[in-house]
Structure 1
Amino acid sequence: MLHAFTAISQGTRLVLSPGMRRFVIAPVAINLLIYAATLGYLFTHFGGWLDYWMLKVPSWLEWLEWLIWPLLVVSLLVVVFFSFTLVTNLIAAPFYGFLAEKVEWRLSGAPPNDTRGLFRAGVDALGREFVKLGYMLPRMALLFILGFVPGVNVFMPFLWAAFSAWMLAIQYLDYPMDNNQVSFGDMRRRLRTRWWPTLTFGFGMSLATWIPVLNLVLLPGGVAGAVILWQQYYRHLPTVTR
């Protein structure tokens, strides 16, 4: 886990270094706008959401209300901030892909293995986000449905935390892999092969989204951290096509 946090820390310092700062202006601006909108919406609606879901607790579990209430709070916060990250990355995807390319060039002295032009790479990056959404949304829906199952809903914060770690690992490690034309299926296989750095990095990025203000630069730093991990753990794995 320590190495995953180290990669995020190193990546953040890298994107804030001279010569790299200009590539994070657009992602930081996007993060700031969506972060402010998310907090405003959360403060306005959170109390109503909490009251609604507490009414869904079956009577035979009312004696556990002291435990269910904080678990429900955590679940709602995880869903909100996971959604914030999802929307942010969807909008900022072309900028993050470009940032990952510049970071890889800085670290290795050579550009990614990508024959696409800048415009085509940007369009493909946006399309890749929709591929990730197609993978992510059905699984989110399943977790949402499980939240209605008595007894199971007690464990939802832990399920959401594990899901968030996996999906954020996919989200950020996909930037350097897409730049090197690794397919979405092959990317997931590589992440499963190196499951420990994958999940610890995803967990680190989950925590990064929760740090007020600092998350504005930690998310671009996570892109650079993903490039560092790509070079150490995933680049040399064999390509598998199906």
Structure 2
Amino acid sequence: MLNALTALSRGTRLVYSSGMRRYVFLPVLVNLLVYAVMLYYVLGHFGGWLDGWMAMVPGWLAWLEWLIWPLFVIALLVLIFFTFTLVTHLIAAPFYGFLAARVETQVTGRPPSDDRGMVRTGIDAVGRELVKLAYILPRMLVLFVISWIPAVNVLSPLLWALFSAWMMAITYLDYPMDNNRVSFADMRRRLGARTWPTLTYGGWVMLITWIPLANVFLLPGAVAGAVLMWDRHYRSPGSASRALSH
């Protein structure tokens, strides 16, 4: 039985194996550039953001400064995480879509059902990424509002964790599904029908994205892992693929 962690491990070894490394260079370069730009911007503005945040705190709440400051830092880290994730995948989507197609060809011995070539795959991947954003952003806004509602917001950490895992699953498992002509709505249904593999895979990818710098090199492995998960769990639900049975 192929589980999420095994898929990620196999996927990472696969993309850095001989013959596949050339497909990883551009995604890694894009991730490095986005990472460097965001890190430079955040470090340059963090102090100003913190001062501005603290200036909005009423004087009668000054005694809570010790609590407000770490809450701001946590909120900022969450915001940076989601921003980095969304921006990186929007820019790297063309390369990830093509990488997923090459991995599927090597692993299964057959190309995706819609093998469109690099340029067409890239263009379609960007369009699909915009569809994902239209799905993800409104739900992020709802969770953000919930986070500020007294009593209800005690559930917000759990909700954010589940949503983050779901978002990562949608983001990565969609690459092989898009390459195989699975619509976005059908993709969500397939993921929802296999809740445990979906959330565990998304959860592991989410943890990877939190590893500074290392995430730049591990995310292409998550793309390959998504192909393995697709072939085992989602291509033909209920049956195992011969190519991944050994």
TM-score (norm 2): 0.85
Pairing 1:81–2:81 present:
yes
| TM-superposition CA deviations, 1:151-210 (whole Å, max 9, x none) | 444544433222211111100000000000100000000000111111111111111111
Structure 1 residue 75: deviation in Å? 3.4
Q: Which residue does the alignment assign to 2:4?
A: 4
| TM-superposition CA deviations, 1:55-110 (whole Å, max 9, x none) | 77899999987667545533321221121011111011111000000101111010
Structure 1 residue 145: deviation in Å? 2.4
Q: Which residue does the alignment assign to 1:210?
A: 210
Any unmatched runs of 5+ in structure 2? 239-246
Q: Following superposition of structure 1 onto structure 2, how do residues 176-195 of structure 1 map, counting pairs within 5 Å?
A: 176-195=176-195
Instruction: Mark the CA change 1:226 to 1:55 in structure 2 (over 3 Å): closer, same or farther.
Output: farther
Q: Following superposition of structure 1 onto structure 2, how do residues 1-242 of structure 1 map, counting pairs within 5 Å?
A: 3-50=3-50, 70=70, 72-114=72-114, 116-237=116-237
For 1:207, the aligned partner's letter is L
Matched-pair contact (CA < 8 Å) for 1:75–1:157 = no
For 2:197, the aligned partner's letter is P
Instruction: Mark the CA change 1:55 to 1:237 in structure 2 (over 3 Å): closer, same or farther.
Output: farther
1:107 alignment partner, SS class: helix
| TM-superposition CA deviations, 1:112-141 (whole Å, max 9, x none) | 111545433221111101101110111112
Structure 1: distance between partners of 2:66 and 2:157: 15
Structure 1: distance between partners of 2:60 and 2:10: 50
Matched-pair contact (CA < 8 Å) for 2:115–2:179 = no
2:149 alignment partner, SS class: coil
Structure 2: distance between partners of 1:37 and 1:111: 36
Count of aligned residue pairs for this structure pair: 237
Matched-pair contact (CA < 8 Å) for 1:164–1:203 = yes
Let me know the Cα RMSD of the aligned residues. Answer: 2.7
Structure 2: distance between partners of 1:65 and 1:169: 37
TM-score (norm 1): 0.86
Any unmatched runs of 5+ in structure 1? none
| TM-superposition CA deviations, 1:8-32 (whole Å, max 9, x none) | 1211111000000000111000000
Matched-pair contact (CA < 8 Å) for 1:72–1:157 = no
